[in-house]
Structure 1
Amino acid sequence: MSEARVTTSETARAVQFAESFGRENLELREVPAPQAGPGQIRVRVAAAGLNPMDWYMTSDAATAARFGLSLPVGFGTDYAGVVDQLGDGVTGFALGDRVFGGAMSRAVADYVLIDTTGTIAAGGQAHHTPDGVDDRTAAVLTIAGSTAAAALAVVDPGPGDTVLIGGAAGGVGVFAVQLARLAGARVIGAGSASSAEALRALGAEPVVYGDGVVDRVRALAPDGITAAIDLYATDTALAARELGVPDGRITTIAAQLHGITPANGANAAPGAIEEIARLAAEGRLRVPIAASFPVEQFRAAVELQAGRHVHGKVVVEL
C-alpha cells in the first residue's frame, strides 16, 4: 500500500480495490493523474463523503458486476473540490470553480474526471458549490440529498401531515427529516435511544424503533400518522401499514414491498440537489458531519460509516 503524497502533477493518490473486492481490500495507491478529455472537467478533490452504497456495491465481485464495476476500481461517490483542468468543448465551468457532485466508485481520490453531460453512474455529475457551503458539507450532499428528495416526492408531505421516518438519524435521514419539516409536516423520527437528542435538534420527535414501535407511535401521535419513509429496511413501512397509512403514502429506499413505491436518488427531480445546496447555504438545512478523517485514515472512516450507527455523515479529506 502506498501512502505517499502527490509530489508531481503526473501522479495522484486514490483509494482503490486493486486485486479483490470487500472493504478490507481497499488500498491507498499512487496512480497516474487523470487528464481531462473532450467534454470533461478534472476536479481536485478536497473532500469525499461516504454512503452505505459505497461499501455495499463493492462488497464482492458479483455485487460489483451488477453495478458495472470491475477491478481495479476506486471507492466512494460523493465529492467536492475545485475545477483544475478543462477538456475541449467544456462550457458552464471555468478553472477555479468550486464544484460538488457524484462519480460512482471514484470519489476518494486526489482527482476525479467528470463528463459535463454525464450522470453519477456514467461519467459523473458536477454542480456549482454555492457561497456559504464549505467543501466538507458540499461533499455529503449529493447521494443522501437526492435520495431524501426522491423519498419526499413519493409521499409528498405538507402542512397537516404527520410523517414517520425510520432510520431518521442516518445519512439520508438527516435530510429527509429537515425537508419534511420545511414542507410544514410534523415528523416522528424512529431511531436508537442514543439518537434522540440528534433527532430533536433536527426538528423531529424521536421514538425508539424495534418491538413495540407501533404502540409508541400511537402514544406520541394519537390522531395517527399520514405518511411514512423507511430509510433502513421494511420495519417502518410495515408499522405504517399497521397504523393505517395507505401504501401510496409509504416509501422505502433500501428494500421493496409489494404495493409500495420505492424511492431512488437517481430519480430525484431536476434541480433537487441544487435546491438542497441552496437551503444549506442559507442556513435553513443543517448538515451534521459526524466525523472527518484525513485520507491516510480512510480505513477508519469506512469502518465507522459501515457500522451504520453514526449520527450524520462521514467525510474523508484529501
Structure 2
Amino acid sequence: MSAKPMDWVQGPWTVELHTISRSTYDGLRLDDVVFPHWIISYVQEGNVRTGSGGEFHRVKAGEVMLHPPNLPFTEHADGRGAHLWLQASILCSHHLDLLQLYRVSPVVAIPEPVKFEKVFFQLQSAWSNRKQSFRDLKLTSGMLQLTEQILAGWENAGSVERSEAYESEGNRYARLVGHMSSRLADKLDREQLAAYVRLSPNYLDRVFQAEYGLTPMQMLRDLRLKHSRLLLQRSEETLESIALQCGMNDASYLCKQFKKHYGMLPGQYRELALSAQAEDLYGGTAGGVRRHYR
C-alpha cells in the first residue's frame, strides 16, 4: 500500500483564527472584497453566485466557498440567506499553507452538513469565551475538523484543482511546493523548478529561502524523505522500490540520505515503527488478539 501523493503533508499544525460568525441577510452584494487570510464561508441557507478573476460559481446550502488571501472576490444573492463563515489560516510543516498546497476548488459540497454546523458552533463558542479552559486546543481541534470535512468533500468530487483565476501572485511559491510534492519520483533540478515559476534559479533560491528557510532543492529533499518515511511505515515495499518512488537513484542513496537526516537506516526505522505498532501496553497482541486484565 503506497502513500497517496499528498500524504507527506504533516504537522505540527498551526491554526490562526481571526474571525468567526454567523451572518444573515435579505439580499447580498459583495464586490471586490479582499481579506489577508482565507475566508471559509459555509452556506447554511440560500443560494449565492460567487466569483473571482472572471470565473463564477453557483453555491447552494450545504456547500462552502473558499476565498484565498489577498484575492478580490464577489458574492451576490437576491434572496434571504445565512452563512457560517470564518477568517483563518491552517498551516502545516515548514509553516506551509495547507489550502494552498492542496489547491482545493473554490466551492466544495460538505459531506456531513449537520456535523460541520455542530463543530462550527462549538468552535464559535470556544472563540467567544477567552477564559475557557484549553481554549487554544479547542480552537485548533475544531478548525482541523472543519478542514477535514472540506478536504473530504473535495476528494469526493474528484479533487479537481482550482483554476488560475483563484491564484494570486503571492501564491506562486506554495504552487511550486505543490508541484514538487506531486512529482517526487521525477528527476527535477534547479532550472526546472525556476522555470515553473518563471524566475531565475539564483533569484528563486533567495526568495524561496527567505519564505521557508530552505532552498527549493532542500525542500524537495525533505519532501522526498518524509514520503519515504511514510512508505516505510505503511507498506511492505522494498527499499529499492521506495527509493524510486521518492526520486532517488537506488536503495544505497536512500539509506545514505535517510541516515543523514533521521540518524538511522531505513530498515531500522521500519523495524522500530512496526514494533511500536505491534506492541500492546496491556500484554496482548495489537489488534485485540489477546488481553490480560485483572
The answer to whether TM tops 0.5 is: no
User: Which has the higher Rg, Structure 1 or Structure 2?
Assistant: 2
Structure 2 length normalisation: TM-score? 0.25
Higher share of residues assigned strand: 1
Structure 1 length normalisation: TM-score? 0.24
